Chain A
Amino acid sequence: MTLAAATVTAAHATTTTAAETHGFLSPTGVEIAFLLVGLVTFGAAIVTVTTKQLVHAALWLVVTLGGLAVEYLLLTAEFIAWVQVLIYVGSVVVLLLFGLMLTRAPIGRSPDADSGNRWAALTVAVAAAAALVWVVVDAFRTTWIDLGDTAGGAAGSTAVTGASLFQSWVLPFEALSVLLLAALVGAIVLSRKTKTTAAAATTPSVPGTRSDKADQADADQADKEGAR
């Protein structure tokens, strides 16, 4: 008990002294690597939200998410990094590309990718960025993360993450599986109901056209789901 308290205070003392000795003008190697990868990530994010070619936006999103995975590795959160690569780069971007293809996105440049309120959006984004960066830098200017190994190993190794996930976070984990099941069923219902009503609408009438009633019902359904 007292030993643990002593180690806590000792760790706190080392972090504070480390924060005093490390300046921004003499960055360590990890910081330089983090800065370079961060620049690539931020640049790719900028291109993602500004490019006029829709498929290129999805491909630049891959660069952004992969750069974030490297940042997680630099922060010693290796399990999160591989989960990021698996789920985001592996499945989410593929889903987005499928969505782009299924909505018949043009391959070349599309001039109306940005809406008319671009300058208002830019103003809001720059104001938010300035406020957030100012507050964050002012608050955490002297805070130092000790990335070195301690007795428990790296902070985000698979053993540590798995132990905490299945000891302290079992109930949210199981609830999350229920949520994933609900999302699966919801996605199936969303794509299946329109198909059945479309089939019911096209069979009595001329094939290729739709009755307005079924169309309106589908629109109402989509609006309800969107508002949820």
Chain B
Amino acid sequence: MHLAYPAVLSALLFSTGLYGVLARRNAILVLMSVELMLNAVNLNLVAFDVWLSKTAQDTLHSGQALTLFTIAIAAAEIGIGLAIVLAVYRNRGTSDIDKLRDTAETDDDSEPAQPEPAEKAEATA
């Protein structure tokens, strides 16, 4: 198999995940897009490991070991990320990342606007 096939698919999946991270508003959809990017990296690691393990005789199979580590780290990341999203949702009533702008820098050095009480009640997608 040509190495270009998995490499191109991995690049396309990574770009798709990049679009999702930039364009989505729901925090959980952003986490899904992050998973897409991590899977693109995994596909690259597996493809290059198969290529290099056939080329060289002594190999550590570092690509597959790193893929397993990435999968485990992604599982941990999704657990912590969902805990954070649920905590934010419980406190703010929304998981819309466009509305979570408390630490945003404003042009003038005024106080950051406190969230309105009505904003907490509304639950958006």
Please report A residues at the B interface, Cβ cutoff 8 Å: 4, 7-8, 11-12, 15, 22, 24, 28, 30-31, 34-35, 38, 41-42, 45-46, 48-49, 54, 57-58, 61, 64-65, 68, 71-72, 74-77, 79-80, 83-84, 87-88, 91-92, 95-96, 98-100, 102-106, 110, 112-118, 120-122, 124-126, 128-129, 132-133, 136-137, 140-141, 143-147, 150, 155-156, 160-161, 164-165, 168-169, 172-173, 176, 179-180, 182-184, 186-187, 190-191, 194, 198, 215, 218-219, 221-223, 225-227
Q: Once the chains are docked, how many angstroms separate the CA of A116 from the CA of B25?
A: 9
Question: A119 → chain B, closest Cβ, in Å?
Answer: 9
**Among the listed B57, B72, B82, which residue makes an inter-chain contact with A176, where contact means beta carbons less than 8 Å apart?**
B72
Please give, as numbers and ranges, the residues of chain B lying within 8 Å of A194 by CB-CB distance.
87, 90-91
In the complex where A105-B26, A183-B76 touch, is A34 in contact with B16 (Cβ < 8 A)?
A: no
Q: Once the chains are docked, how many angstroms separate the CA of A149 from the CA of B46?
A: 17
Apart from A48-B20, A87-B74, list 4 A-B contacts with CB within 8 A. Answer: A145-B47, A147-B54, A161-B61, A186-B83
Contact indicator B78/A95 (Cβ below 8 Å): yes
Contact indicator A12/B11 (Cβ below 8 Å): no
Question: B105 → chain A, closest Cβ, in Å?
Answer: 14
CB under 8 Å from chain A, chain B span 53-99: 53-62, 64-65, 67-69, 71-80, 82-92, 95-96, 98
Please report B residues at the A interface, Cβ cutoff 8 Å: 1-9, 11-20, 22-26, 28-29, 31-33, 35-36, 39, 42-43, 46-47, 49-51, 53-62, 64-65, 67-69, 71-80, 82-92, 95-96, 98, 102-103, 123-125
Question: A52 → chain B, closest Cβ, in Å?
Answer: 9
Please give, as numbers and ranges, the residues of chain B lying within 8 Å of A182 by CB-CB distance.
76
**Among the listed A146, A164, A183, which residue makes an inter-chain contact with B80, where contact means beta carbons less than 8 Å apart?**
A183
Q: Once the chains are docked, how many angstroms separate the CA of A87 from the CA of B60?
A: 24
Q: Once the chains are docked, how many angstroms separate the CA of A22 from the CA of B51?
A: 15
**Among the listed B11, B31, B77, which residue makes an inter-chain contact with A129, where contact means beta carbons less than 8 Å apart?**
B11
Contact indicator A172/B75 (Cβ below 8 Å): no
Question: A101 → chain B, closest Cβ, in Å?
Answer: 10
**A68: nearest chain-B partner, CB-CB:** B39
**Among the listed A12, A49, A136, A147, which residue makes an inter-chain contact with B7, where contact means beta carbons less than 8 Å apart?**
A136
Please give, as numbers and ranges, the residues of chain A lying within 8 Å of B53 by CB-CB distance.
155
Contact indicator A103/B83 (Cβ below 8 Å): no
9 interchain residue pairs of minimum CB distance = A121-B22, A49-B20, A129-B15, A125-B19, A183-B76, A132-B11, A164-B61, A110-B125, A121-B23
Q: Once the chains are docked, how many angstroms separate the CA of A104 from the CA of B89?
A: 10
Please give, as numbers and ranges, the residues of chain A lying within 8 Å of B65 by CB-CB distance.
161, 164-165, 168-169, 172
**B69: nearest chain-A partner, CB-CB:** A176
Question: B49 → chain A, closest Cβ, in Å?
Answer: 7
Contact indicator B6/A71 (Cβ below 8 Å): yes
Sample of 9 A–B contacts (CB below 8 Å): A30-B1, A72-B43, A80-B71, A87-B71, A114-B23, A141-B2, A155-B64, A179-B76, A191-B87
In the complex where A114-B25, A145-B47, A190-B80 touch, is A102 in contact with B124 (Cβ < 8 A)?
A: no
**Among the listed B13, B85, B90, which residue makes an inter-chain contact with A99, where contact means beta carbons less than 8 Å apart?**
B85
In the complex where A88-B71, A155-B50 touch, is A121 in contact with B4 (Cβ < 8 A)?
A: no
